[in-house]
Amino acid sequence: MPRPGITSSPLFWQLASFALFFGAWEIAGRWPVSAAFPPFSATLLALLEMIGDGSLGKAYVSTLQPLLIGIAICGVAGIGFGIGMGLSRTVEWFTLPVFIILQAAPMAAIIPLITYLYGIGLTSKVLAVIFLAAPVVVMNSYKGIRNANPSLIQMCRSFQGSRRQEILKIILPHAAALIFTGLRLGLAMGFIGVVIAELLITPTGIGDLITYHSSVADYPQMFAAISSIILIAAVSLHALERVERRLFPAEIRGS
Amino acid sequence: MQNDTAVEVRNISKIYSGNVEALREVSLAFPRGKLCTLLGPSGCGKTTLLKIIAGLIPANSGEVWVNGRQVDGPGPERAFVFQDFALLPWATVLRNVAFGLELRGMPPEQRNEIARKHIAEVGLAAFEASYPNQLSGGMRQRVGLARALAVNADIILMDEPFSAIDEQTRRKFQEELLDLLKHHRKTVIFVTHSIEEAAYLSDQITLLSPRPGRVAKTIAPGIDHSRGPDEIRRDKHYLDTVDEIWQMLKQYVD
């Protein structure tokens, strides 16, 4: 049998696809497709420069603040609401319509309303994150609770388990994986929310870098700022997905 | 009620929402220490009757008497074995078997010791730390059976326990079940749609007619289980029982 070559390693193909992507970007930038489209090399240099002079770091300190506060609130209140809706028909009746509407509403249209009510400060940005992230966090927790295997619940009752034991030992463990997935998807929505807020409410943080460099035609810097937020979102979501797979491997997941 | 009757149902009727009549006026007695089968085509309400006896679903009318007392919910003297096993996928075999005792608030050391004994009894000693999804269907149902034995109930209710298991494993399991019951002297109420299974295992077979479920006939096959399984399966008495049931049930199949 021939020795497996370098081409059989998944890492090789991952690196190759990156090289292809950045190579195409470089060529398209040098061609150029548009005066506002810098090549990959110029973008990378601009990124290093912005890291070096501390402007990128400062931007992220102010961008991550509303994001983390918003996600933390979703994590506590959103999961709480979802679990409440899953367990109680009354809570479901009151809150489910709200979250269905929130899930369907185009958020960018609501942001001016938030600004009108809460001004242009941190509160409005946190709210933008919450409005985008909460529905998916709530709905996942709710579905996780509602999808509890009825046969397991009957099993618990057949051994005289109390309602409390039924919730703590069957329903919540069963829902845990979906709740975690909800949080991860909530974070993804939160990234969208915080950037929209920074672009639409007042330019701060990464939104400020993007708007400012675009207005003075520093396109490599603008692309560097855009690429950095995409990179950070992708890396953190991927990391959370790995944590999720480690915490809830396929063999212990409820069907 | 006589002392040799473990479970008795009186005039049980069950109508599901949407006016589906599952059971009509079912009265039956299950003798203590025997294996009794509820047999019938799908839709005859046999699982419904079993779950009413278990106290898992309420009847619209009628009474369930267990050990001489009327009951209206689950109780420690009854343990249920589920068709789909109903094991916690996130818990090991050990925790699953001990789960009934865990719900009763027994301390971990004590309940694990009891669970280990029953895991060994069903032949899974090497799999205490495995998760249900790592086991075959037959092994999962052994876990379900061990869990029911662990709570030391004298009545075991089994809802088509072998229907999700392949035929070879099923036969082996049936023999082991009879063997286990010989040592434990439990009363077993067993739901199945397999005529052979009913005839092979049972001391008493109740045939239910479909829609609405009613007692069509009660048969006592009187098979001597002290003989080997292969001998029983060739026995004229066993074959006659199978044929008698089939002649009864044929009319309900279209």
Higher pLDDT, B238 or A45: A45
Residues of chain A with Cβ-Cβ distance to B75 below 8 Å are 160
**For residue B150, which amino acid is it?**
A
Distance CA A74, CA A182 (A): 10
Average pLDDT over residues B10-26: 88
Torsion of CA A75, A76, A78, A80, to 10 degrees: 130
Q: How many CB atoms lie within 10 A of CB B13?
A: 18
- Asked whether residue A4 is assigned to any structural domain, the reply reads no
Q: Is A147's Cβ below 8 Å from some Cβ in B?
A: no
Do B74 and A157 count as a contact with CB atoms less than 8 A apart? yes
| The length of chain A, given as a count of residues | 255
- Asked whether residue A236 is assigned to any structural domain, the reply reads no
Q: Region of A217 please: left (phi>0), alpha (psi -120 to 50) or beta.
A: left
Q: Tally the domains of chain A.
A: 1
Q: Is B56's Cβ below 8 Å from some Cβ in A?
A: yes
Residues of chain B with Cβ-Cβ distance to A253 below 8 Å are 89-90
Whether A23 shows a pLDDT value over 50: the answer reads: yes
Average pLDDT over residues B142-156: 92
Q: Is A151's Cβ below 8 Å from some Cβ in B?
A: yes
Q: Is B74's Cβ below 8 Å from some Cβ in A?
A: yes
- Asked whether residue A100 is assigned to any structural domain, the reply reads yes
Q: Chain B residue closest to A249 (CA)?
A: B90
Q: How far is A167 from chain B (nearest CA, A)?
A: 12
Place of tokens 């944590």: A243
Q: Which pLDDT belongs to residue A112?
A: 87
Out of A151, A157, A251, closest to residue B133 by CB: A251
Report whether B91 contacts B108 (CB < 8 A).
no
Domain ranges of chain B: 5-77+155-252, 90-152
Average pLDDT over residues B8-13: 90
Q: Is A160's Cβ below 8 Å from some Cβ in B?
A: yes
Out of A151, A159, A250, closest to residue B103 by CB: A159
Q: Is B84's Cβ below 8 Å from some Cβ in A?
A: yes
- Asked whether residue A50 is assigned to any structural domain, the reply reads no
**Whole-structure pTM value:** 0.84
What mean pLDDT value characterizes chain A?
A: 90
pLDDT > 70 fraction of chain A, expressed in percent and rounded:
97
Q: Chain A residue closest to B153 (CA)?
A: A159
Q: Is A173's Cβ below 8 Å from some Cβ in B?
A: yes
Out of A154, A159, A253, closest to residue B99 by CB: A159
Q: How far is A150 from chain B (nearest CA, A)?
A: 9
Residues of chain B with Cβ-Cβ distance to A174 below 8 Å are 90
- Asked whether residue A76 is assigned to any structural domain, the reply reads yes
Eight-class DSSP state of B210: T
Q: Indicate the pLDDT class of residue B236, thresholds 50, 70 and 90.
A: confident
- Choice among A126-130, A218-222, B105-109, B250-254 with the minimum mean pLDDT: B250-254
Give CB contacts under 8 A, 24+ apart, made by B165-173. Answer: B165/B137, B165/B138, B165/B141, B166/B137, B166/B138, B169/B136, B169/B137, B169/B138, B170/B138, B170/B197, B171/B229, B172/B138, B173/B138, B173/B141, B173/B142
Strand ranges across the sheet with B214-219: B78-81, B155-159, B187-192, B35-39, B204-209, B214-219
Q: Is B65's Cβ below 8 Å from some Cβ in A?
A: no
Whether B252 shows a pLDDT value over 80: the answer reads: no
Q: Chain B residue closest to A251 (CA)?
A: B133
Place of tokens 């506002």: A36
Whether B1 shows a pLDDT value over 50: the answer reads: no
| Structural domain range at position A149 | 64-205
Average pLDDT over residues A92-114: 86
Q: Which pLDDT belongs to residue A171?
A: 94
- Asked whether residue A81 is assigned to any structural domain, the reply reads yes
Average pLDDT over residues B154-160: 92
Whether A8 shows a pLDDT value over 90: the answer reads: no
Find the helix packing angle between A219-247 and A40-52, rounded to 10°: 80
Q: Chain B residue closest to A177 (CA)?
A: B90
Torsion of CA B132, B135, B141, B143, to 10 degrees: -60
Model pLDDT for residues A139-172, shown as the tens digit of each residue: 999 999 998 889 999 999 999 999 999 999 999 9
Do B103 and A160 count as a contact with CB atoms less than 8 A apart? yes
Q: Which pLDDT belongs to residue A188?
A: 94
Residue (of B131, B107, B33, B81) closest to A173 by Cα position: B131
Q: Is B228's Cβ below 8 Å from some Cβ in A?
A: no
Q: Is B102's Cβ below 8 Å from some Cβ in A?
A: yes
Residue (of A84, A79, A127) closest to A102 by Cα position: A127
Whether A223 shows a pLDDT value over 70: the answer reads: yes
Model pLDDT for residues B27-62, shown as the tens digit of each residue: 999 998 889 999 888 778 889 999 999 999 999 999
Token duo for residue B33: 């220490």
Q: Indicate the pLDDT class of residue A235, thresholds 50, 70 and 90.
A: very high
Q: Chain A residue closest to B95 (CA)?
A: A169
Q: Is B99's Cβ below 8 Å from some Cβ in A?
A: yes
Average pLDDT over residues B178-207: 86
CATH number for the domain including A157? 1.10.3720.10
Report whether B103 contacts A169 (CB < 8 A).
yes
Could you tell me how far CA B42 lies from the centroid of its own chain? 16
Instruction: Cis check for the bond before A4: say yes or no (omega within 30 of 0).
Output: no
Q: Chain B residue closest to A176 (CA)?
A: B90
Q: Is B79's Cβ below 8 Å from some Cβ in A?
A: yes
Whether B237 shows a pLDDT value over 90: the answer reads: no
Report whether A136 contacts A179 (CB < 8 A).
no
Model pLDDT for residues A49-78, shown as the tens digit of each residue: 999 999 999 999 999 999 999 999 999 999
Using the Cα atoms of residue B152, residue B158, residue B161 and residue B167 in order, give the sign of their dihedral. Answer: positive
CATH level 2 (architecture), domain B5-77+155-252: 3-Layer(aba) Sandwich (3.40)
Residues of chain A with Cβ-Cβ distance to B55 below 8 Å are 158
Q: Which pLDDT belongs to residue A3?
A: 62
Out of A151, A170, A252, closest to residue B84 by CB: A151
Determine the residue among B53, B56, B81, B90 to mutate to test chain A binding: the one whose Cβ has the most chain A Cβ atoms within 10 Å: B90
Average pLDDT over residues A104-127: 88
- Tell me, what's the ipTM? 0.89
